[in-house]
Amino acid sequence: MYKIGLIGAGNMATAIIKGILKAELVQPNDIIVSDIDDNKLVPLQGLGVDITKNNKALAESAHIIILAIKPGVYEPVLKQLRDVIALDTIVVSIAAGISIKYIKSFFDRDIKVVRVMPNTPALIGMGMSAIAVPSNIDESTAKKVETIFAALGKVDIIEEKLMDAVTAISGSGPAYAFMFIEALADAGVMEGLPRNKAYTLAAQTLLGSAAMVLETGEHPGKLKDMVSSPAGTTIDAIYALEQGGFRGIVMRAVKACAEKSRYMEK
């Protein structure tokens, strides 16, 4: 069996580790995670995974290394790893705005780097990961990475140049979805629903609607029309949303996110 190493034990690493274990892709002791912060490592130790504060030691023992650190610490961490990444080690970067070329520039040899943009629903096996595979990566290497992220939800292969768009839709998207659920629930409370019931109604409605788009393959506009009875209730809500610039503000948000991702690009 291969050993999966994660550098950085934050939000995304935790989602990936819990997702991998939930899917039983590998045993807990086939996973090793490093962080400079003990407070991040200790809760993960409870899952049975190996922990270390030594990124270099992790890199020496793992076959696949997922860099789950913030873009700002890539430089010092890559400098630590410079001499220890073997040619058959697969480095997976999940950071926004960090290119494969940037990572490879720290190495004097042709190491294997794959770029992935996952999202936090990976925690419950409902993630969406987009994978960019450069030309020096053979099919079996790409497959190994795909297998890991497929255990965490859906995967799609994309060109690296589309990563900023992916980051703005599926990488950051859960935050927008949670805000929409919160807003729906707040409105439900305003209309007299108990808070916990309002969250259930709102979240299940988004879950069901999203599943309907994926399962029916129908245009979302057609599905929206199916809900909107002539002179009924829904069309009044749609009118209010359109007056408030609902679609425009969503598009502006996505554009701002993609622009930030491009601005961060290294």
Ligand X SMILES: O=C(O)[C@@H]1CCC=N1
Residues making up the binding site for NADP(+) = 7-12, 68-71
Determine, following the binding rule CB under 6 A, whether residue 99 of this chain makes contact with ligand X: no
Determine, following the binding rule CB under 6 A, whether residue 167 of this chain makes contact with ligand X: yes
Determine, following the binding rule CB under 6 A, whether residue 93 of this chain makes contact with ligand X: no
Determine, following the binding rule CB under 6 A, whether residue 170 of this chain makes contact with ligand X: no
- Interacting stretch for ligand X, rule CB under 6 A, among 14-22, 144-152, 167-175, 234-242? 167-175
Q: How far, CA to CA in Å, does 22 sit from each of 2, 12, 33, 123, 124?
A: 17, 15, 17, 8, 8
* Helices within the chain (DSSP H only): 11-22, 38-45, 55-61, 74-81, 100-104, 139-150, 163-166, 173-190, 195-216, 220-227, 234-243, 246-264
Contacts (Cβ under 8 Å, ≥6 apart) of 259? 164
Longest Cα–Cα distance of the chain, Å, equals 69
Distance between CA 118 and CA 124 in Å, rounded? Answer: 13
Determine, following the binding rule CB under 6 A, whether residue 35 of this chain makes contact with ligand NAI: yes
Q: If contact means CB under 5 to 8 A according to the sort of partner, which of ligand X, ligand NAI, none does residue 77 touch?
A: ligand NAI
Helix (H, G, I), strand (E, B) or coil at 94: coil
Distance between CA 257 and CA 266 in Å, rounded? Answer: 16
Q: Whole-number minimum distance, CB 211 to ligand NAI, in Å?
A: 21
Among the listed residues 4, 6, 17, 40, the single contact to ligand NAI using CB under 6 A: 40
Q: CB nearest ligand NAI: which residue?
A: 10
Going by C-alpha positions, the residue among 63, 159, 58 that lies closest to residue 117 is 159
Q: How far, CA to CA in Å, does 142 sit from each of 95, 108, 186, 227?
A: 18, 22, 44, 42
Determine, following the binding rule CB under 6 A, whether residue 120 of this chain makes contact with ligand NAI: yes
Q: What are residue 129's phi and psi, to 5 degrees?
A: -125, 130
Going by C-alpha positions, the residue among 67, 30, 62, 25 that lies closest to residue 151 is 25
Please say which residue, 89 or 172, places its beta carbon nearer to ligand X: 172
Known binding residues for NADPH: 55
Binding mask 46-85 for ligand NAI (x = CB under 6 A): ---------x------------xxxx-x--xx--------
- In one letter, which amino acid is 179? M
Among the listed residues 30, 49, 78, 119, the single contact to ligand NAI using CB under 6 A: 119
Determine, following the binding rule CB under 6 A, whether residue 12 of this chain makes contact with ligand NAI: yes
- Interacting stretch for ligand X, rule CB under 6 A, among 78-86, 152-160, 166-174, 218-226? 166-174
**Residue in this structure with the two tokens 């039983």, named with its chain if needed:** 24
Among the listed residues 123, 172, 181, 188, the single contact to ligand X using CB under 6 A: 172
Q: Whole-number minimum distance, CB 12 to ligand X, in Å?
A: 8
Distance between CA 127 and CA 19 in Å, rounded? Answer: 9
User: Which residue ranges make up the site for ligand NAI (CB under 6 A)?
Assistant: 7-13, 34-37, 40, 55, 68-71, 73, 76-77, 94-96, 117-120, 171
Applying CB under 6 A, the residues found at the interface with ligand X are 96, 167, 171-172
